[in-house]
Structure 1
């Protein structure tokens, strides 16, 4: 026999069960869709645009659209195809790997919004967001061997030879610099990405060899970190301080007695150090050894400026603020760095024609066409901060400056220094 309290308990339990059941029903009930797929995306014909452009490759429209030749595009497709392909189902046909790579390259080439690209490729902006991230990750993975630091003195000496032969700067093992990549204000980030230009950014720090190739790149440092801290927090600085870079031992310059260490060419955003040389500051007398040294150092340091300029001229997503979260921006910028080296090695004349880069003939500098674009609203330079240097490091720089006007003098350098 149940008493009154038991009956109340049973009724209450039943009410709870029924309420939970109806709650679950409402949760699992799907909202009816207006369309399964809109006609814009349903009528998409795969690869139609690339086929039309490829038929008239000589016009240059294919290269302008994808930023590479059909051969290079197909080569990349073979490399990343297995990583980005999707299985077919009975619901709908997957977006092809050709379209996935093409929409990503077009985004990198123009920086257009996903909403704009969806009308060009007939792929929804939600799908494009996932595709760009996935393809950039695949590109980084298959092209990671394109960016490698030299591991021993013999490999570093190959870099040194290029700087000495092309840019007349001995003992230089690379040029370093950094840029602030402007992004939209990340949600709930406070001032973490707020830089000295009162913008939000992440930092691209890079080491470049004498042939405009990236040897090292560090992407993603928050814009609020001081520009000296960007380098100090990088893996390159850690290896340099721990002496695990494998740099050659200091040697004498030709005709000299003082041993000079091998160094990275830098600007005033960096501190003078044993393996980092930057220009002399102040208003220097024309023709003086210090001014000549500044001129020679700037010629070598110009390669890193050109590397950034070439990449941003071809992949114009870097020329405007990127309206994505920092993690995705980091992925996109890293993919561009890898593509830059890949195209430099496999499509040099097509990717970097001579007029695009700075070049000299008999000491006369002709600026590359990338410098003439005045619409740059991203890639802000690092801030130059005056720093005290030790007497020992200044002595090393003085030795190299004296060498540049004596044993290592160039016949035409005084006219331009």
Structure 2
């Protein structure tokens, strides 16, 4: 081999060795910004001060300190990471703080990355992992699969609090808006000319979610969203484990347990919707029924309002995939139940700061059977009878009419 060939070979070997060394250096290289995370990162310099002020802590994380650490203990086994040779893992407490701040504000991953002095990819991974852990660990405790005992408790609360016996839940659906996913065409394009997935929820008398179904395409018809959901299919197939029919208080009238919903849903044996507006205007008993129906159904509307005001991700057009948006929705729904009784006074202050951002489903109705019509008529008659009426109902249904006539 000539000397020039030997020199070329040695040069090539040296070059490859140098490239390998540079690769190794890049693998362990950390930007100066991230190196100072434990000194200037938002968690390390702000969190200790937040712990000294209960109100500020609540407004920052949307929960009290007690709930924060209760939640941390629940999700810690799923989100804890081990230190490696090259870097220390982000502590569980900080990981939870990053995720909760994301859900509370809807700030971009890049914004959070700068404020917490973490890599943008790390922030994304942390938020996805913690949301998964929140749903996995909390849903068996705070949103368990309903059984007869849960349905019976719900019926008692609707009867005593909202004057609607035999009601076991209120149902509604909302479009959760986000940026158009790449290469999705019109799959998520809804009737309000935005892109969305659908949150379908059943709520109890205390504004807690009983069941949620998330992820239906925004383009789907609203009637189809319900009929194709797991909840809708179980209701139609009588597989929700409802208690046996029950006598209405003060009567001998045996009636089924029902769910109340608005005009977007079909009238069924166990699913009541209001009378059409034109029909109820000419009939006082139907207007009374609609008023009583609305009182019970508004628990679901109010729950959506609380959810969207507490977690501001619903007031932003998130630039994420539908799968990740579904993770956020599921996590916030079960967190809503977890936090329902957490410092109601501070929650009221928080809710006043924002307006609801979820979009309604369209009222499409659907087919119904004669038995469903008869069940609704029997509720109508009951609410206007001596046994089932409440003293203020006629006054309430005449308030709007009196103002209109003036």
Aligned to 2:37, the other structure's residue is in SS state coil
What is the deviation of 1:261? 1.4
Aligned to 1:366: none
Number of equivalences: 375
d(CA) in 1 for partners of 2:373, 2:136 = 42
Would the aligned equivalents of 1:220 and 1:330 in 2 still touch at CA under 8 Å?
yes
Aligned to 1:144: 139
Would the aligned equivalents of 1:344 and 1:351 in 2 still touch at CA under 8 Å?
no
Superposed, 1:12-411 pairs within 5 Å as 36-45=29-38, 47-57=44-54, 60-145=55-140, 146-152=142-148, 154-283=149-278, 284-285=280-281, 288-345=284-341, 347=342, 349=344, 352-353=347-348, 373-374=354-355, 376=356, 378-406=357-385, 407-411=387-391
1:220-259 Cα shifts (integer Å, max 9, x gaps): 1111111111111222222223322111222342344543
Q: Tell which deviates more after alignment, 80-89 or 208-217.
A: 80-89
What is the deviation of 1:150? 2.4
Aligned to 1:416: 396
Q: 1:64 to 1:200 in 2, by over 3 A?
A: same
Q: 1:162 to 1:351 in 2, by over 3 A?
A: farther
What is the deviation of 1:148? 1.8
Aligned to 1:220, the other structure's residue is in SS state strand
After TM superposition, where is structure 1 displaced by more than 4 Å over at least 4 residues in a row?
Answer: 28-35, 255-258, 350-353
1:243-292 Cα shifts (integer Å, max 9, x gaps): 22111222342344543211100000001010110111123338701001
Structure 1: any 5+ residue segments left out of the alignment?
Answer: 1-17, 357-368
What is the deviation of 1:69? 1.3
1:108-152 Cα shifts (integer Å, max 9, x gaps): 000011111122211122210111001101111110211123212
RMSD: 2.5
Q: Tell which deviates more after alignment, 388-397 or 311-320.
A: 388-397
d(CA) in 2 for partners of 1:303, 1:210 = 6
d(CA) in 2 for partners of 1:132, 1:351 = 25
d(CA) in 2 for partners of 1:286, 1:319 = 39
Aligned to 1:202, the other structure's residue is in SS state strand
d(CA) in 2 for partners of 1:140, 1:47 = 27
What is the deviation of 1:389? 3.1
TM-score using structure 2 length: 0.86
